[in-house]
């Protein structure tokens, strides 16, 4: 007897869509066939619905100390919101302390996350310190099941160019993937000082102090260093046309350069910073102009965007308000963890891209790049992380129907045609038509496989 059978739905894979039933036993997908008997503890009819793998969000900041406060969603609220938007695996950044071995960084954050997570989760280590033995400690981290690291080119926890290069070189030996937040720190600081000294303090100057070229130049530099090191590179939250072109050029020459973008860069332009509530949209990199948005959409269609993430990092309205008269005081980050999959699927529903493409960039590519061997598809043997999607359900996003702990959303009032109606994590129902029905602590730490080592 199966634990769960989902019947009569249209299964979506990265390469095909077909009508089939799907059976689950012990949290795993064990059959996908034209017709499966109802011999199950639970049977769900998915007629006129789509059946998709749960999404993987490879980029969130939960309970993150940042910008003079801590991001508003802890591991419970963040993962709760994730599953209510069809995301069943969440990656968080564990930021290394100075002097700390990388595997200890992971264990420190896991101690916070494990009791709270409602879905499976993984970490990337945010690297700060590679002095002494610490560079070598990356290897132990990979062996522990965390084969991905991130360097920031900005912020007070950003690394020098030299550290970035050392980390790239190390990654080849140990089978790790390095992600980068690419913006030119010097330029950001210079432009920020300039605008402040001119009395230009509104949220729009957050954008103008981090314009297209500040990100694009940093993307190009990061790609050059990865090429020189012979390493793979994953550019997080790519938001500009120049960087998109640089990624495309590198890919065309066969370099293993990967790019992630986020729904906010596909929907909002820098015009949002002219709004009265512009501070709520402050994140880094900021939203860019229409040309950049168009380049990102074209990149998705061409296959030069590999993954979608959210960079979920919400702050409360009162905290965003710290910067009403000074954009430097606005904590950087926005909510999005519950919106990624519904937004991308609604784009497919509207015919802009295919549903298969959404599954590719929100699920299967992400699983492959980050070594999530049990996730990212509905193949037999995979974890039964499943979303049932109603392409006819209309949904308007309001903070009041989101499941995050924050008190506002940049997505307020956005209308989506089509919406997830059920989410299962390892075969267990965690979201049911508007309601979170999961359990705190149900999520498990996901040990991941390394990347192939490079000569
Ligand atoms: N950008 C943000 O907007 N928030 C968190 C960290 C980041 O890089
Ligand atoms: Zn970032
Ligand atoms: Zn981020």
Residues 149-201 pLDDT 10s: 999 999 999 999 999 999 999 999 999 999 999 999 999 999 999 999 999 99
Q: Which two tokens stand for residue 237?
A: 């939250």
What does the alpha-carbon distance between residue 222 and residue 219 come to, in Å, rounded to a whole number?
Answer: 5
Tally of CB atoms within 10 A around 190: 12
- Using the mean position of ligand 3's atoms as its centre, give its distance from the Cα of residue 312 in Å: 7
Residue 419: strand pairing partners: 390
Whole-number pLDDT of residue 455 = 85
Rg of the chain, C-alpha, whole Å: 21
Pocket probe mutation, ligand 1, options 59, 61, 215, max atoms within 8 Å of Cβ: 61
Whole-number pLDDT of residue 267 = 98
Predicted confidence band of residue 63 (pLDDT cuts 50, 70, 90): very high
Beta strands 87-95 and 55-60 are parallel
DSSP state of 334: B
CA atoms within 13 A on the CB side of 267: 18
pLDDT tens column, 249-298: 999 999 999 999 999 999 999 999 999 999 999 999 999 999 999 999 99
pLDDT tens column, 204-252: 999 999 999 999 999 999 999 999 999 999 999 999 999 999 999 999 9
| Surrounding residues of ion ligand 3, Cβ less than 5 A | 311
pLDDT tens column, 327-365: 999 999 999 999 999 999 999 999 999 999 999 999 999
Ligand 1 pocket check for 61: Cβ under 6 Å: yes
Answer whether residue 380 shows pLDDT above 90: yes
Mean pLDDT of the region 304-331: 98
Ligand 1 pocket check for 181: Cβ under 6 Å: yes
Q: Is the peptide bond before 319 cis (omega within 30 degrees of 0)?
A: no
Mean pLDDT of the region 400-422: 98
What does the alpha-carbon distance between residue 278 and residue 325 come to, in Å, rounded to a whole number?
Answer: 12
CA atoms within 13 A on the CB side of 226: 28
- Using the mean position of ligand 1's atoms as its centre, give its distance from the Cα of residue 284 in Å: 5
Whole-number pLDDT of residue 215 = 98
Residue of 442, 447, 429 lying closest to 375 (CA atoms): 447
Q: Whose CA is nearest to atom 5 of ligand 1?
A: 333
What does the alpha-carbon distance between residue 20 and residue 172 come to, in Å, rounded to a whole number?
Answer: 41
Ligand 1 pocket check for 283: Cβ under 6 Å: yes
How much is the mean pLDDT over the chain? 98
Q: Whose CA is nearest to atom 8 of ligand 1?
A: 284
- Using the mean position of ligand 3's atoms as its centre, give its distance from the Cα of residue 175 in Å: 22
């Amino acid at each position: 007897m199966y634990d769960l059978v989902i019947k009569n739905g249209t299964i979506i894979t990265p390469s095909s869509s077909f009508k089939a039933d799907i059976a689950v036993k012990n949290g795993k997908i064990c059959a996908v066939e034209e017709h499966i008997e109802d011999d199950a503890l639970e049977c769900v009819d998915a007629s006129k619905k789509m059946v998709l793998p749960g999404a993987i969000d490879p980029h969130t900041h939960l309970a993150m100390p940042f910008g003079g406060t801590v991001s508003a969603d802890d591991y419970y609220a963040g993962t709760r919101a994730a599953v209510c938007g069809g995301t069943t695996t969440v990656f968080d950044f564990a930021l290394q302390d100075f002097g700390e071995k990388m595997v200890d960084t992971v264990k420190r954050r896991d101690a916070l996350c494990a009791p709270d997570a409602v879905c499976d989760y993984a970490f990337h280590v945010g690297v700060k310190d590679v002095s002494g033995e610490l560079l070598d400690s990356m290897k132990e981290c990979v062996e522990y099941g965390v084969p991905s690291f991130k360097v920031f080119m900005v912020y007070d926890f950003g690394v020098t160019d030299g550290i970035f290069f050392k980390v790239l070189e190390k990654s080849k030996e140990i089978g790790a993937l390095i992600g980068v937040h690419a913006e030119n720190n010097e330029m950001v600081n210079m432009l920020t000082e300039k605008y402040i000294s001119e009395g230009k303090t509104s949220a729009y100057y957050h954008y103008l102090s981090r314009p297209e070229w500040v990100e694009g130049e940093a993307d190009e530099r990061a790609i050059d260093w990865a090429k020189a090191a012979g390493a793979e590179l994953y550019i997080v939250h790519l938001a500009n046309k120049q960087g998109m072109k640089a990624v495309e050029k590198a890919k065309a020459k066969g370099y293993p350069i990967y790019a992630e973008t986020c729904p906010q860069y596909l929907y909002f332009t820098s015009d949002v910073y002219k709004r009265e509530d512009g501070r709520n949209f402050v994140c880094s990199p900021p939203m860019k102009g229409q040309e950049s948005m168009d380049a990102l959409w074209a990149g998705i269609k061409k296959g030069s965007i590999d993954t979608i993430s959210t960079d979920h990092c919400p702050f409360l309205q009162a905290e965003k308000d710290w910067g009403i008269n000074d954009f430097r005081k606005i904590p950087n980050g926005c909510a999005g963890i519950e919106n990624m999959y519904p937004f991308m699927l609604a784009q497919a529903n509207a015919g802009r891209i295919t549903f298969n493409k959404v599954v590719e960039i929100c699920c299967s590519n992400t699983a492959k790049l980050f070594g999530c061997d049990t996730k990212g598809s509905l193949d037999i043997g995979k974890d039964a992380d499943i979303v049932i999607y109603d392409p006819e359900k209309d949904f308007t996003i309001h903070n009041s129907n989101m499941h995050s702990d924050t008190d506002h959303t940049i997505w307020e009032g956005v209308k989506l045609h089509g919406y997830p109606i059920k989410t299962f994590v390892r075969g267990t129902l965690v979201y049911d038509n508007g309601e979170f029905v999961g359990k705190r602590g149900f999520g498990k730490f996901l040990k991941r496989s390394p990347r192939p080592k490079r000569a």
